[in-house]
A and B are shown apart, each in its own frame.
Chain A
Amino acid sequence: MSANMLEVKDLHAYYGKSHVLQGVDFKVGRGEIVSLLGRNGVGRSTTCKAIMGLVAPHGTIEFDGESVAGLKSHQVARRGIGYVPEDRLIFSGLTTRENLEMGAKKVGAKTGWSLQDAYELFPRLSERADVKADLLSGGEQQMLTMCRTLMGDPKLIMIDEPTEGLAPQIVSQVGDFLLAIADKGISVLLVEQRLSIAMRVSHRVYVMGHGRIVFEGTPADLEADDSVRREWLEV
């Protein structure tokens, strides 16, 4: 059993001719919440997509001690990586319940997460179980998309910008949710622009700039480092 859940070494990725990831290195430990911070366009989302096999990765991606680089996305998911994309990608023709059922990889498989767990965590989803998912509010859709991925019983979950466009009260709910799933032993890779939530929930943070990692440390380290914040984070 490897000490790290996810270990990424010298990861490169390209969109056509543009070299988006230029050697990204980071690790996520078991049960650890790690944030990937940085401004728009520095390659945070692409990092998630490359791990997920949605963008062709060049480099090393080890998950739970095994290489997942070059696998198809459904194979990566079946190894135990869950992905919550930035644009949520709710299945609009399906109801809330069906969206959740889509997350389960097999019918009736014994998993750590059930519909009931999702409903308990977010009672709103239970109330709106039979409503078409595109009628949910932004906050409800975010809860739905996170629970949908959890239904697949991931060992690590990558969540891209979960708080974008959400009201402060819901942002704090998302934070509680992340702490709750990490409590269950699930590793979390959080991609964020909002410093406050990342500082609150993370064990460690990485800052990205120009397709590379430019800072690694604890939230306290980042708090103390004005120059990194000024150069790579503040707008």
Chain B
Amino acid sequence: MRPTLSHFAVAGSPVMLESIVFSVLNGLLYGMLLFMLASGLTLIFGMMGVLNFAHASFYMLGAYCAYTISSYTNFWVALILAPLFVGFLGALTERFGLRNVHKHGHVAELLLTFGLVYVIDELVVLIWGQIPVNYAIPPSLDFTLFTLFGTSFPAYRAFILFVAIAMFGAIYLLLVRTRVGMIIRAALSHPEMVGALGHDVPRIFTLVFAFGTGLAGLAGVMAGNYYITEPGMAFSMGPIVFVVVVFGGLGSLGGALAASLIIGLVTTFAVSLNYSIADLLAAVGLGLDGANIAGGLAHIDLSRIGQMLPYLMMVLILIFRPRGLMGARES
């Protein structure tokens, strides 16, 4: 639906309100999904100094594992087992991959995770094939939760929100209230000192890597049936998660949460607010001729640059605030 001048005149009407309410809900939903991925990625980076390129690949594995497990059992079993299995794969990756190349520096570690992206990608195609698999929303959650202004809100979206918020609460309590969490927080600032106090830092690294990839797996379980489970899903999610982590500040969990929600809301609003600069100008009585370049640019809808906005935001924050929203270090 292309908005006309009259839409500006009826701002505040149910149509506008509906658009805002659903954009907020969907933006939060997308943001929390991003956070499920970004939290693990930023924890791993903050502690080990390694940007795990393969993080979104573990997300994809979560979705595919959930598909296979739920085809033998049901969704609820998959919801528990798939993240555990993905976390276990993450632990193996850290223990037998990253730990061995660690002494050769961060570039070697980075390249290892980079290679892993393609290995996992090919494995997924070999095992599950090129075409999307039929990983569906479980019937018990496949209903309309509520209808507002004629638009329905599916229960599964609410479930994703619920799981994401529960996960955030669990991470928070784990980090702030437990001794393991305290050691992890300490290792975020000075891992070598944590070791010098007698704590087995390599084991903590394995634990955090497993935990982070397990969270990515959980995000895959939740998102695989909400979107589509197909071999391209890692590539479509990977870059945006990096943007979130950089924008929020590498290593900062609070920053990752803020950035996830901001980027989730910005992209969702950009898509739903179908206006262009030309519409705005028209609204104030200035017509623009679409034939010249300025006119052409002005006629591009906000929704069409919505996909670009997060990357633009990352570029801008790197220029004006290199450590991100809440990051501790510049890198």
Instruction: Please report A residues at the B interface, Cβ cutoff 8 Å.
Output: 52, 54, 72-74, 76-78, 83, 85, 89, 91-94, 98-99, 101-103, 105, 107, 148-149, 152
Contact = CB atoms under 8 A, between A and B. Distances in A.
B182 interface: yes
A94 B186 contact: yes
Contacts of A93: 185-186, 188-189
A152 B198 contact: yes
A72 B199 contact: no
Contact of B195 (A77, A94, A98): A77
Contacts of B200: 74
A101 B182 CA distance: 9
Give the top 7 A-B pairs by smallest Cβ distance, nearest first: A77-B198, A89-B193, A91-B186, A73-B195, A105-B198, A89-B190, A83-B196
Nearest to A91: B186
Interface string B190-209: 10111111111110000000
B182 A74 contact: no
A77 B194 CA distance: 10
A151 B195 CA distance: 14
A74 B186 contact: no
Contacts of A76: 196
12 contacts: A73-B201, A74-B200, A77-B198, A83-B196, A91-B185, A91-B193, A93-B186, A94-B185, A102-B182, A102-B194, A105-B198, A149-B197
B327 to A, nearest CB: 13
A74 B183 contact: no
Given A89-B190, A93-B189, A77 B182 contact: no
The DSSP consensus for interface residues of chain B is helix
Residue of B185, B193, B201, B202 contacting most chain A CB atoms (<10 Å):
B193
A64 to B, nearest CB: 15
A52 B183 contact: no
A196 B185 CA distance: 38
A142 B261 CA distance: 40
Residue of A72, A93, A149 contacting most chain B CB atoms (<10 Å):
A93
A74 B183 CA distance: 13
A74 B187 CA distance: 13
Contact of B196 (A85, A92, A94): A85
B104 interface: no
Contacts of B202: 72
A107 B179 contact: yes
Residue of A73, A101, A105 contacting most chain B CB atoms (<10 Å):
A73
A52 B195 CA distance: 10
Nearest to B193: A89
Contacts of A94: 182, 185-186
Contacts of A72: 195, 202
A78 to B, nearest CB: 5
Interface string B166-182: 00000000000001001
A103 B186 CA distance: 11
Given A85-B196, A98-B182, A102-B183, A74 B189 contact: no
Contact of A54 (B192, B197, B199): B192
Given A76-B196, A102-B186, 12 more contacts: A54-B192, A73-B196, A74-B199, A74-B200, A77-B195, A93-B189, A94-B186, A102-B194, A102-B197, A103-B197, A105-B197, A105-B198
Contacts of A73: 192, 195-196, 201
Contacts of A78: 198
Nearest to B182: A98
A52 B190 CA distance: 15
Contacts of B193: 85, 89, 91
Contacts of B195: 54, 72-74, 77
A85 B185 CA distance: 19
A152 to B, nearest CB: 5
